[in-house]
Every structure is written in structure tokens, then in C-alpha cells.
Amino acid sequence: MPKSGRCLCGACTLVLAGPHNWVGHCHCDSCRRATASPVTTFIGHPNGHWTMDGPIGRYASSDGVERGFCQGCGSPLYYRSKRYPDEVHFYATLLDDPAAVSPTVQFHAGETLPWAGALTTLPHG
């Protein structure tokens, strides 16, 4: 079953068909700023097996790197780099069912925020 997803306002949609290359967390400073979140979870998905539609804006966050976002609501949509020409990295939490994927790897662990490990273990407020 293809996995569908959307931005916050719903104007941008995506469909990922077939198997992902990988699912993993990124702890890097750039992803943190791009998403304003302590951890960013990506789906590496092969080109030719995804579709994306809507008012997509593009930002060159560094040399050879493009980050897509919805021009309507500002939601981050994807990360694409010349270093990975055969795949696009989509934000897993855009999926209609983010629980349908299971991260199995993490990147830039050296940049992990000291409190990121406790995200689900704090007392309930």
C-alpha cells in the first residue's frame, strides 16, 4: 500500500510507493533549525517511486542541498542533496500514519541535544 501524507494546511500532498531505502532520525543542527524540532525523522525514498503536489517552495540550505516547504503553511516537506542523487528524504511525520514506519538508524548523533533522549520519559504535564 502506498503511504500518503500532507503538510499542515493540506495544500501539499505526497505519496510514497513501495519500500523505503531507510527510516532514521537526524540530530544535526541544520535539520533542527529547518524543522524547529529537537529531532528530525526522515524517510529515504527512491526516486521514481514518489509523487508530490502543491505549492512547493524550495530553499537551498547549503551547497547542493535543497529543502522543500509548503508555500501556504510553511511545513517542511523534504530534503534533497546532490550527495544522494537517487533518493529524496521526506519528513516521516508528514505521513497520515507516521506509526506505519519504524526508524532503524540515526545520523549526526554527536550533535544530539542533551535532553533529546528524555523526550518520552518526562513526567506528564
Kindly list the residues in this chain that would bind Zn ion in the complex (CB under 5 A). 7, 9, 11, 26, 28, 31, 70, 72-73
Residue with smaller CB distance to Zn ion, 20 or 27: 27
Rounded to the nearest whole angstrom, what is the least distance from the CB of residue 61 to Zn ion in the complex?
10
Beta-strand relationship, 76-81 and 65-70: antiparallel
Minimum CB separation from Zn ion for residue 118, in Å? 20
Tell me if 77 sits within 8 A of 41, measured CB to CB: no
**CB distance 29 to 112 below 8 Å:** no
Q: Cβ of residue 8: shortest distance to Zn ion, in angstroms?
A: 5
Beta bridge mates, 95:
5
Which amino acid makes up residue 44? G
Q: In the complex with Zn ion, which residue's Cβ is closer, 23 or 70?
A: 70
Judged by beta carbon, residue 9 or residue 116, the one nearer Zn ion is 9
Would you give the end-to-end CA distance of the chain in angstroms?
37
- When the beta carbons of 3 and 89 are compared against Zn ion, the nearer one is 89
